[in-house]
Structure 1
Amino acid sequence: MVVGVLHLELILHQCQSLKDKRSVMRKVQSRVRQGFEVSVAEVGSQDLWQHGEIGVVTIGVDRNLINQVLDRVLNFVDSLGLAEVVNHQIEIINL
């Protein structure tokens, strides 16, 4: 069993409040869930209105496939234009 974890750090330039941030973060998470078979959650920076962190997790048996899925999620989030991806980390865990 292989678990893939993607951690994204985002800058939300257009947000002026935590309410704006929640709206953008929900949109990003919803679109990722709709487009990919992954679990998504906001995992940090919840009190900062122009900074967000999202964790994406998927599981499978093929390490290469897991890595491809997480790469596609990263590119997808970046292409949405809702937030700027300023840092990311992918970790693949063999269990």
Structure 2
Amino acid sequence: MTIGICEIEILIYESHSLKEKRHVIKSIIERIKSRFNASVAEVDFNDIWNKSVIGVAVVSNDQKLCESAISKIINFVDNDERVEIITYNKEIY
């Protein structure tokens, strides 16, 4: 069994309140869940209105598949015009 995890720190452009931030983050999380079948949650900066950290986990029996899924998720978030990736950390176990 192979587990891929990633923390993606993002800056949210369209957010001027916590309500707007939650709308953007919830949209991104739900789209990742449905498109990539991954476990996703907001894991840090819950009370800051323009910044967030999204945690992603993928489980597979193939290491290359985990690496590919994590990379595709990072690219997916990077292509969202509402946010900018500040940094990300990925690990494969």
Q: Same fold (TM over 0.5)?
A: yes
Structure 2 length-normalised TM: 0.96
Matches within 5 A, 1:42-61: 42-61=42-61
Distance 1:10 1:49 in 2: 11
Pairing 1:38–2:25 present: no
- Note the aligned Cα RMSD (angstroms): 0.7
Unaligned runs of 5+ residues in structure 1 are none
- Assess if the C-alpha contact under 8 Å between 1:4 and 1:58 holds in 2: yes
SS in 2 for 1:46: coil
Unaligned runs of 5+ residues in structure 2 are none
Residues 10-64 of structure 1: per-residue CA shift (max 9 Å, x gap): 0012210001100000011011112111010000000100100100101011111
Distance 1:74 1:86 in 2: 11
Matches within 5 A, 1:4-43: 4-43=4-43
- Assess if the C-alpha contact under 8 Å between 1:28 and 1:82 holds in 2: no
Amino acid of the residue matched to residue 9 of structure 2?
E
Runs of 4+ displaced beyond 2 Å: none
How far 1:82 sits from its partner (Å)?
2.1
Structure 1 length-normalised TM: 0.94
Q: How many residues align?
A: 93
